[in-house]
Structure formats: structure tokens, C-alpha cells
Structure 1
């Protein structure tokens, strides 16, 4: 019942206030800047809430992130280097899904540290800072484990965050 109430009546409806155009543009700029330092492709998706049917079916934030990873084709990059940073506002959940090219190089604890730093920012009501922290730290992690080789590359995924 708690999940139903949270997704139906939580403050998820303020997504536009929490993520105005200026913030979305800044996130996109940081994603693009980070991608100059590594061979990964980072995609950010922020979802206000899960549909009631999904909650009733038992869909978790991790399930939803995995589905979006597929739907947004984050898995479909040339080097299998896509990473989805997913935030479910209604349930205060953050999930990071990494493609196989990166997942075998980066320990789960490293992704967990990023989500914890983001949670700390969200807990203080700093939505902009929370996502920028995730983008910056994921970019640094990718630069360490999947560094750029200096050759120009095609941007395979949009840098602009997706609000759902």
C-alpha cells in the first residue's frame, strides 16, 4: 500500500520545478563534457513516478531502469559502453545500469558509492546537485576504467536528460 500511495500522491508532480530547463541544459552539458574524457555513453532518465499498473505488478525501480536501458537503446553502443543513470522521484530510488563492456571493469561498490552521494544530495532537497554529482562521478569512473583514446567519436546517445 505504501508504494501505491507514494506513486499516486507523492510530490512527483513537481518534476518541472525540480528540473527546470536550465538544470536540464546544465546536466546535458556535463554529460557531453564527461564523454570527452572517456569512451562511455551516459544517459540520464528521471521519472516522476511509476504507473499504478506497474506498481500493482510489482515492478521495482531496478526493473524499470533495466526496461529503460533496453527501450532507450543504451545497450546498443558500438563498444557496449552505455550507462543509464535512472532516478525514480516518487520512491526516492536511484539505479545505475551499465552495459557489459563497462560492467565487467567496474565493481558494483563503485556504482553504489555514486548512488549514495546522490541520495545524500537528494535528501537535502538539492535535486540539481544530486544529478550533477551522479553525472560527474560516473564520468570520472568511466574516464578511469574506460578512458578516451583521443580519437574523435560519434555521440551515440542524447546528452539531454529524459524526464518521464
Structure 2
């Protein structure tokens, strides 16, 4: 896809498309799933969905990965006590997903494991099942965090980041 086609696609995809893909009820269910997950481990999960990239990213040909890494920092996912925050990022205009995990979790998870999680998300997104794809990713990240950062019996996970999906 050339630069002008990409710009057009991102400008054409807007907040209405994002609201259609993830309505208020879906967002509430995703938030509940994140909240429930964080009762099992000390990690933090953040979901971020954007209709399209900002024009500055499009003009310089930046990737969805670059934007996800920037949002990881902007949303302070890196700023958790155990360095085990995870950002699950959806770019609707390109049906692109990215997972950015902090160093505490990345120490335990191989790139191929992350690729498996993203492959399942891509399959759901190709079918237009955005909520299902995000739920599958939340469940997969939950499993990894519960394995590597479980809570001790009676221990609580202080909620360091908002559980609600961040939409842009």
C-alpha cells in the first residue's frame, strides 16, 4: 500500500468505526476481564485501541509497533512496581495488533510466545471479532502473568493502572 492510500485509510477510519467494533458493552466486558485477571497476579494489563494513526505517524511511515511502544510509555504501562505491565494495542485502520510487555515479564516470555498470542488475535480480527480477539489476548497475558508473577494466598494486587480500555 502506498503512502497516500495508507493516509486515506487511516483518515477514513474514525471514532464511529471504533465504536462499532467495540461498543460500550464490549468495553465494559473488557474492563471487567482485565479487573478479574489482575486479582490472580501482580501484573498490570492495559488495552489501547485506536481508529487510525495520527497524521505525523502516517507522514513518516511509522509502524503500528512504533505507535504501540509510544502508547506503552504515554499510558505509563512501564511504570509498575514489578516491571510487569503489558499493553495490548489494536490499530483498527490496519486490523493490526501489537503487544508490548515490560522487561519483568519479557524476561520470561519468548518472542515466539508473543507471536502465538498475536496470531490468535489476528485470526479473530480478520473475522471482525475484535472483542473476542482482545479477550483471547487478555486471557493469554493473564496466564503468563499468573505463571510468572502469581499472588501469594491472601495477597492483593494494588491496581496501578486503569482497567478500562484506552480509546483514541
Say whether the fold is shared (TM-score over 0.5): yes
Q: Secondary structure at the match of 1:90?
A: helix
Q: Secondary structure at the match of 1:144?
A: helix
2:163 alignment partner, one of 129, 135, 159:
159
2:85 alignment partner, one of 82, 85, 102:
82
Q: Deviations over 1:48-78 (max 9, x none)?
A: 1012221112221111111111111000001
Q: Deviations over 1:59-103 (max 9, x none)?
A: 211111111111110000011111000011101111101111111
CA RMSD of superposed structures (Å) = 1.4
What are structure 1's unaligned runs of at least 5 residues? Answer: none
Q: When the two structures are superposed, what TM-score results if normalisation uses the length of structure 2?
A: 0.92
- Number of aligned residues: 164
Q: What CA distance in whole angstroms lies between the structure 2 residues aligned with 1:135 and 1:153?
A: 17
The corresponding residue for 1:24 is: 27
1:40 alignment partner, one of 43, 64, 80:
43
Q: What CA distance in whole angstroms lies between the structure 1 residues aligned with 2:90 and 2:157?
A: 28
Tell me whether 1:70 sits opposite 2:110 in the alignment: no
Q: When the two structures are superposed, what TM-score results if normalisation uses the length of structure 1?
A: 0.94
C-alpha deviation, 1:12, in angstroms: 6.5
Q: What CA distance in whole angstroms lies between the structure 2 residues aligned with 1:38 and 1:153?
A: 7
Bigger shift: residues 10-19 or 39-48: 10-19
Tell me if structure 2 keeps the 8 A contact 1:12–1:89. no
Q: What CA distance in whole angstroms lies between the structure 2 residues aligned with 1:68 and 1:102?
A: 18
C-alpha deviation, 1:135, in angstroms: 0.8
C-alpha deviation, 1:109, in angstroms: 1.1
C-alpha deviation, 1:149, in angstroms: 2.2
1:114 alignment partner, one of 117, 131, 137:
117
Q: Deviations over 1:2-35 (max 9, x none)?
A: 3223212247641111111110010011111111
Tell me if structure 2 keeps the 8 A contact 1:106–1:145. no
Q: What CA distance in whole angstroms lies between the structure 1 residues aligned with 2:53 and 2:28?
A: 24
